[in-house]
Amino acid sequence: MGAEALAPIRVLYKGEAIGDYYVDVLVEGKLMVELKCVDCIANEHMAQCLNYLKASNHNVALLVNFQHPKIEWKRIVHNF
């Protein structure tokens, strides 16, 4: 299966499709990876990952920030 870039995630509201989220990378159909290049990871970035997890059947996301020489990352878990 591998990794899929800009993988669409269907968003439903009351059973109706209202649009799509696009996660940066979906690995093996299970792990969402959201990539950032910001000064620091903010609550908005973590909320974005949580929204992606809630809108999908996935439980784990990685939020990765490449702004600094040392990579900053957070593991986000939903309904695990």
CA 21 to chain centre: 9
Question: Quick one: what percent of the chain has pLDDT higher than 90?
Answer: 51
Domain extents in the chain: 3-77
The CATH class that applies to domain 3-77 reads alpha beta
Q: Is the pLDDT of residue 65 over 70?
A: yes
pLDDT, one tens digit per residue, over 13-47 is: 788 888 888 899 999 988 999 999 999 999 999 99
pLDDT score recorded for residue 8: 87
Candidates 35, 31, 55; CA nearest to 45 is: 35
pLDDT score recorded for residue 18: 85
What is the rounded distance in angstroms from the CA atom of residue 21 to the CA atom of residue 72? Answer: 23
Residues forming beta bridges with residue 7, ordered by sequence position: 23
